[in-house]
Amino acid sequence: MEGFEEVRTLADLCAQSDAIVSVCPPHGAAQLAETVAGTGYRGIYVDANAIPPALAGRIRDLIAGAGGDYVDGSIIGPPANESGTTRVYLSGTGAESVAELFVSGAADAVVLDGDFTAASALKMVYAAFTKGSAALLLAVVGAAGALGVDEALRAEWAMSIPDLPARSDRLLEYSGRKAWRFEGEMKFISETLERAGLPGGFHSAAAEVYRRIAGQVDESFPVSHRRTLTDLLNAPESPSFDPTG
C-alpha cells in the first residue's frame, strides 16, 4: 500500500520512528505505553486514546523515564476519510510540532491551551455525553422490553421525540459491536468526573450497561430484535475488561 512501510515488531517501529501516535482501545493504552517505554524509545509519543488526565500524566512519566517526549492527544469524529469531519486535539509542550504532521492528511489537528492533559480532558467530557447518553438510551430500551411497554414507548417517541426510535435502532447496531471498548472508557470518565468534584455514578452505570452487552453482540445483531437487548442487559455474568490495561 502506497505510503506505508511494513515493520515486523514494535521494537523495530520504535527504533525507526521520530514520533508515534498511540490509538488503541482505551483499556490498553497504559500497557502499550509501558511496552513502548520498555524499548527505550526516545522520540515523541502522542497518546491519542480516550483516557483520563490522571492516566495521561502517568504515561507521560513512563515515556519521560525512557528519554522520550510526551504530547497529549485525543480524537473526536469518524475515521478521517475527508477534511472537516475529524479533529485530533493536542496539548502540552511539543503539540505545535506534532500538529504539523497532520497538515497533509484528512484529520484536522487542533492545539489546545491550558494544562498538558487538556486533550484527554476534552475527550472525557465530550464522550461523557455522547457515549454516556447512548448507554442511557440502551438501558431505557432494555427496561421497556422487560416491562412489556417497548412498542408503546416507541409509539410515544414517534409522536413526542421523533428522532429517538431510529436513534435507538442505530445504537443497537453500533454500540452493540463497540461495547467491549466503551466499558473501560466509561470507567475512565467516571474517574475524571469524580476527580473534578462531580458525581461519577452516571458513567459507572453506563460502564455496567456496556459490560453486559460486551462479547455477546456481533455484527449480525438484528436491530429488530429489541427484546434481545433486554436479555443482554439482564446478563450480569457478561465478561468485563480491566480499564487499567
Instruction: Please give the pLDDT value at position 65.
Output: 96
List Cβ neighbours of 60 (8 Å cut-off, separation of 6 or more): 70, 72, 92, 116
Residue 1, pLDDT above cutoff 90: no
Which domains are seen in the chain, by residue range? 10-114 (3.40.50.720), 121-233 (1.10.1040.10)
What is the grid cell recorded at 187?
470507567
- Average pLDDT score over residue span 230-242: 56
Residue 227, pLDDT above cutoff 90: no
Residue 212, pLDDT above cutoff 90: no
Instruction: Please give the pLDDT value at position 242.
Output: 46
**Using one digit for the tens of pLDDT, what is the confidence trace for 156-211?**
999 999 999 988 888 877 777 788 889 999 999 999 999 999 999 999 999 999 98
List Cβ neighbours of 47 (8 Å cut-off, separation of 6 or more): 22, 29, 33, 56, 59, 70, 71, 72, 73, 120
Instruction: Please give the pLDDT value at position 217.
Output: 58
Instruction: Please give the pLDDT value at position 82.
Output: 87
**Using one digit for the tens of pLDDT, what is the confidence trace for 18-55?**
999 999 999 999 999 999 999 999 999 999 999 999 99
**Using one digit for the tens of pLDDT, what is the confidence trace for 44-85?**
999 999 999 999 999 999 999 999 999 999 999 998 888 899
- Average pLDDT score over residue span 210-230: 62
Q: Could you give the angle at the alpha carbon of 105 between the alpha carbons of 104 and 108, nearest 5°? A: 105
Confidence class for position 2, pLDDT limits 50, 70, 90? low
Q: Per mean pLDDT, which range of 2-6, 77-81, 119-123, 126-130 is the poorest? A: 2-6
Instruction: Please give the pLDDT value at position 24.
Output: 95
Rounded CA-CA distance 119/75 in Å is 9
What is the grid cell recorded at 50?
480516550
Contact 75, 24 (CB under 8 A): no
**Using one digit for the tens of pLDDT, what is the confidence trace for 124-163?**
999 999 999 999 999 998 889 889 998 999 999 999 999 9
